[in-house]
Protein backbone atom coordinates (compact mmCIF):
# COMPACT_ATOMS: atom_id res chain seq x y z
CA UNK A 1 0.00 0.00 0.00
CA UNK A 2 1.40 3.36 -1.07
CA UNK A 3 2.25 5.83 1.68
CA UNK A 4 1.82 9.59 1.60
CA UNK A 5 5.61 9.95 1.50
CA UNK A 6 5.84 7.75 -1.62
CA UNK A 7 2.99 9.69 -3.26
CA UNK A 8 4.73 13.02 -2.56
CA UNK A 9 8.04 11.70 -3.91
CA UNK A 10 6.25 11.07 -7.23
CA UNK A 11 3.96 14.09 -7.23
CA UNK A 12 6.30 16.70 -5.72
CA UNK A 13 6.54 18.44 -2.35
CA UNK A 14 5.51 21.96 -3.39
CA UNK A 15 2.69 23.63 -1.49
CA UNK A 16 0.75 26.68 -2.66
CA UNK A 17 -0.23 28.95 0.17
CA UNK A 18 -1.71 32.32 1.03
CA UNK A 19 -1.37 34.63 4.04
CA UNK A 20 -4.25 35.19 6.48
CA UNK A 21 -4.32 38.90 5.68
CA UNK A 22 -4.30 38.40 1.90
CA UNK A 23 -7.59 39.19 0.18
CA UNK A 24 -10.00 36.53 -1.04
CA UNK A 25 -9.56 38.01 -4.57
CA UNK A 26 -5.83 37.34 -4.49
CA UNK A 27 -6.43 33.82 -3.16
CA UNK A 28 -8.89 32.82 -5.88
CA UNK A 29 -6.62 34.34 -8.56
CA UNK A 30 -3.77 32.20 -7.19
CA UNK A 31 -5.98 29.10 -7.32
CA UNK A 32 -6.93 29.90 -10.93
CA UNK A 33 -3.31 30.50 -12.02
CA UNK A 34 -2.15 27.24 -10.39
CA UNK A 35 -5.32 25.38 -11.45
CA UNK A 36 -5.92 24.03 -7.94
CA UNK A 37 -8.90 23.99 -5.58
CA UNK A 38 -7.28 24.78 -2.23
CA UNK A 39 -4.60 26.87 -0.56
CA UNK A 40 -2.96 26.40 2.81
CA UNK A 41 -3.23 29.58 4.91
CA UNK A 42 0.24 30.17 6.39
CA UNK A 43 0.96 32.52 9.27
CA UNK A 44 4.74 32.57 8.86
CA UNK A 45 5.79 28.91 9.09
CA UNK A 46 2.51 27.80 10.68
CA UNK A 47 -0.45 26.42 8.74
CA UNK A 48 -3.43 28.12 10.41
CA UNK A 49 -6.25 27.27 8.00
CA UNK A 50 -7.38 26.06 4.58
CA UNK A 51 -9.05 28.18 1.94
CA UNK A 52 -10.92 26.13 -0.65
CA UNK A 53 -13.36 26.63 -3.52
CA UNK A 54 -16.06 25.44 -1.09
CA UNK A 55 -15.09 28.13 1.43
CA UNK A 56 -15.36 30.71 -1.34
CA UNK A 57 -18.80 29.49 -2.49
CA UNK A 58 -20.30 29.25 1.00
CA UNK A 59 -18.46 31.81 3.13
CA UNK A 60 -17.91 34.57 0.57
CA UNK A 61 -20.25 34.40 -2.45
CA UNK A 62 -23.40 33.19 -0.67
CA UNK A 63 -22.87 35.64 2.19
CA UNK A 64 -22.49 38.55 -0.25
CA UNK A 65 -19.00 39.43 1.00
CA UNK A 66 -16.65 41.55 -1.09
CA UNK A 67 -13.72 39.48 -2.39
CA UNK A 68 -11.23 42.39 -2.65
CA UNK A 69 -12.04 43.61 0.88
CA UNK A 70 -12.41 40.32 2.78
CA UNK A 71 -9.22 38.84 4.27
CA UNK A 72 -8.76 35.09 3.93
CA UNK A 73 -8.62 34.66 7.74
CA UNK A 74 -12.33 35.65 7.98
CA UNK A 75 -13.54 32.88 5.65
CA UNK A 76 -10.96 30.08 5.94
CA UNK A 77 -11.62 26.68 7.54
CA UNK A 78 -9.70 25.99 10.75
CA UNK A 79 -8.25 24.02 12.42
CA UNK A 80 -6.40 22.25 9.61
CA UNK A 81 -6.71 18.48 9.25
CA UNK A 82 -3.30 17.07 8.36
CA UNK A 83 -1.83 13.84 7.01
CA UNK A 84 1.50 12.37 8.15
CA UNK A 85 4.08 11.01 5.66
CA UNK A 86 3.90 7.44 7.03
CA UNK A 87 0.12 7.18 6.60
CA UNK A 88 -1.25 5.03 3.78
CA UNK A 89 -3.46 6.41 1.05
CA UNK A 90 -6.31 4.23 2.42
CA UNK A 91 -6.00 6.00 5.77
CA UNK A 92 -6.07 9.37 4.01
CA UNK A 93 -9.18 8.40 2.03
CA UNK A 94 -10.86 7.40 5.26
CA UNK A 95 -9.98 10.76 6.87
CA UNK A 96 -11.22 12.68 3.82
CA UNK A 97 -14.51 10.78 3.86
CA UNK A 98 -15.09 11.17 7.60
CA UNK A 99 -14.06 14.82 7.78
CA UNK A 100 -15.52 15.69 4.37
CA UNK A 101 -12.39 17.39 3.05
CA UNK A 102 -10.67 16.96 -0.30
CA UNK A 103 -7.18 18.21 0.57
CA UNK A 104 -4.78 17.19 3.32
CA UNK A 105 -1.60 19.17 3.92
CA UNK A 106 1.20 16.84 5.04
CA UNK A 107 3.12 17.65 8.24
CA UNK A 108 6.36 15.98 9.30
CA UNK A 109 7.66 16.94 12.75
CA UNK A 110 5.84 20.26 12.63
CA UNK A 111 7.07 21.11 9.12
CA UNK A 112 4.75 21.35 6.10
CA UNK A 113 6.20 19.00 3.47
CA UNK A 114 3.44 18.64 0.87
CA UNK A 115 -0.21 18.40 -0.04
CA UNK A 116 -2.37 15.46 -1.14
CA UNK A 117 -5.78 15.86 -2.78
CA UNK A 118 -8.61 13.43 -3.38
CA UNK A 119 -7.57 13.28 -7.06
CA UNK A 120 -4.04 12.23 -6.07
CA UNK A 121 -5.45 9.39 -3.95
CA UNK A 122 -7.87 8.19 -6.64
CA UNK A 123 -5.10 8.25 -9.26
CA UNK A 124 -2.83 6.20 -6.95
CA UNK A 125 -5.54 3.64 -6.15
CA UNK A 126 -6.24 3.17 -9.89
CA UNK A 127 -2.51 2.69 -10.58
CA UNK A 128 -2.25 0.12 -7.75
CA UNK A 129 -5.28 -1.78 -9.08
CA UNK A 130 -3.88 -1.71 -12.63
CA UNK A 131 -0.60 -3.14 -11.31
CA UNK A 132 -2.49 -5.95 -9.50
CA UNK A 133 -4.48 -6.77 -12.65
CA UNK A 134 -1.29 -6.97 -14.72
CA UNK A 135 0.33 -9.30 -12.16
CA UNK A 136 -2.74 -11.55 -12.09
CA UNK A 137 -2.86 -11.66 -15.92
CA UNK A 138 0.81 -12.62 -16.01
CA UNK A 139 0.17 -15.34 -13.40
CA UNK A 140 -2.80 -16.73 -15.37
CA UNK A 141 -1.29 -16.52 -18.87
CA UNK A 142 2.32 -17.25 -17.85
N1 LIG B 1 -3.96 12.85 -13.45
C2 LIG B 1 -3.47 13.28 -12.30
O3 LIG B 1 -2.30 13.09 -11.99
C4 LIG B 1 -4.37 13.98 -11.35
C5 LIG B 1 -3.95 14.19 -10.02
C6 LIG B 1 -4.81 14.90 -9.17
C7 LIG B 1 -6.02 15.38 -9.65
N8 LIG B 1 -6.40 15.15 -10.94
C9 LIG B 1 -7.69 15.61 -11.45
O10 LIG B 1 -7.81 17.02 -11.23
C11 LIG B 1 -9.15 17.33 -10.86
C12 LIG B 1 -9.22 18.07 -9.55
O13 LIG B 1 -8.43 17.41 -8.60
P14 LIG B 1 -8.68 17.45 -7.06
O15 LIG B 1 -10.15 17.49 -6.79
O16 LIG B 1 -7.91 16.34 -6.46
O17 LIG B 1 -8.10 18.83 -6.51
P18 LIG B 1 -7.19 20.00 -7.05
O19 LIG B 1 -7.66 20.53 -8.37
O20 LIG B 1 -7.11 20.98 -5.94
O21 LIG B 1 -5.74 19.31 -7.18
C22 LIG B 1 -5.08 19.10 -8.41
C23 LIG B 1 -3.60 18.81 -8.09
O24 LIG B 1 -3.02 19.96 -7.46
C25 LIG B 1 -2.48 19.63 -6.19
N26 LIG B 1 -2.76 20.71 -5.25
C27 LIG B 1 -3.96 21.23 -4.92
N28 LIG B 1 -3.82 22.24 -4.06
C29 LIG B 1 -2.49 22.35 -3.81
C30 LIG B 1 -1.72 23.23 -3.00
N31 LIG B 1 -2.28 24.20 -2.27
N32 LIG B 1 -0.39 23.07 -2.99
C33 LIG B 1 0.21 22.09 -3.74
N34 LIG B 1 -0.46 21.25 -4.53
C35 LIG B 1 -1.81 21.38 -4.58
C36 LIG B 1 -3.17 18.35 -5.77
O37 LIG B 1 -2.38 17.63 -4.84
C38 LIG B 1 -3.37 17.66 -7.11
O39 LIG B 1 -2.19 16.99 -7.49
C40 LIG B 1 -9.90 16.03 -10.82
O41 LIG B 1 -10.58 15.89 -12.04
C42 LIG B 1 -8.82 14.99 -10.68
O43 LIG B 1 -9.19 13.75 -11.21
C44 LIG B 1 -5.58 14.44 -11.80
CATH number of 89's domain? 3.10.580.10
C-alpha closest to that of 56 among 13, 86, 27, 78: 27
Number of domains forming the structure of the chain: 1
Per-residue model confidence (pLDDT) at position 142:
75
Q: Does the beta carbon of 80 lie inside 6 Å of ligand 1? A: no
pTM: 0.95
- Rounded distance, CA 5 to CA 29, Å? 29
Take atom 14 of ligand 1 and give the residue whose Cα is closest: 119
Which domain, by its residues, includes 22? 4-141
Q: Which atom of ligand 1 is nearest to the CA of 116?
A: 37
Q: Does the beta carbon of 93 lie inside 6 Å of ligand 1? A: no
- Rounded distance, CA 129 to CA 101, Å? 24
Q: Does the beta carbon of 37 lie inside 6 Å of ligand 1? A: yes
Q: Does the beta carbon of 14 lie inside 6 Å of ligand 1? A: yes
- List the pLDDT tens digit at each of the 142 positions of the chain: 899 999 999 999 999 999 999 999 999 999 999 999 999 999 999 999 999 999 999 999 999 999 999 999 999 999 999 999 999 999 999 999 999 999 999 999 999 999 999 999 999 999 999 999 999 999 998 7
Cβ 88 vs Cβ 38: under 8 Å: no
Residue 130 alpha carbon to ligand 1 centre in Å: 20
Take atom 19 of ligand 1 and give the residue whose Cα is closest: 36
Amino acid sequence: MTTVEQLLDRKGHGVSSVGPDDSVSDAIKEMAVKDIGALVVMDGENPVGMFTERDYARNVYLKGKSSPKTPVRDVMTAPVIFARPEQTIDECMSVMTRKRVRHLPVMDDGVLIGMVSIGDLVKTVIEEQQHTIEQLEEYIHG
